[in-house]
Amino acid sequence: MHFDGSPDRLPTQASRFTRLRQMLTRPELAFLMEAHSGLSARIAEEAGFEGIWASGLSMSAMLGVRDNNELSWTQVLDMLEYMSDATSLPILVDGDTGYGNFNNFRRFVQKLCERGIAGVCIEDKIFPKTNSFLGEN
């Protein structure tokens, strides 16, 4: 309950999943704001965005490492947990190349669901990945 007596209206995990699916399938554009921390996620929500893009590039940069899988999937999960706790918006995660293999990615997705993360996308590239802004060699 809030201090004014009104009930808490925090969305359930399922509603985050459903809201992201609706944004991705509707005919109108949906605007997601990049976030890389709990604070930036909260700012995106306060600014009126419908969802959050959790960028691998930004999360890597925030911790001072290169965007080529130097962050482990558990480090990414830790940051996402803070983001999920700080906002009610659905979060779409940059899953890079899936962290090496099917088993790693399956476990990553399970842990994302436990934290209320609405979705993840992966790139069709080799592991370890290179930044998408760099030309292929």
Q: Which domain holds residue 74?
A: 39-121
- Give me the number of domains the chain comprises: 1
Q: Does 129 fall in a domain?
A: no
Residues written for the chain: 137
- Annotated catalytic residue, options 67, 78, 96, 124: 67
DSSP conformation class of 115: T
Catalytic residue list contains 67: yes
Q: 30-79: per-residue pLDDT in tens?
A: 999 999 999 999 999 999 999 999 999 999 999 999 888 888 899 999 99
Q: 77-94: per-residue pLDDT in tens?
A: 999 999 999 999 999 999
Q: What does the pLDDT read at residue 96?
A: 86
Q: What is the pTM of this model?
A: 0.81
Q: Among positive and negative, which fits the CA dihedral 67, 70, 74, 78?
A: negative
Q: Does 46 fall in a domain?
A: yes
* pLDDT-derived band at 98, boundaries 50, 70, 90: confident
Q: Does 3 fall in a domain?
A: no
Q: What does the pLDDT read at residue 6?
A: 42
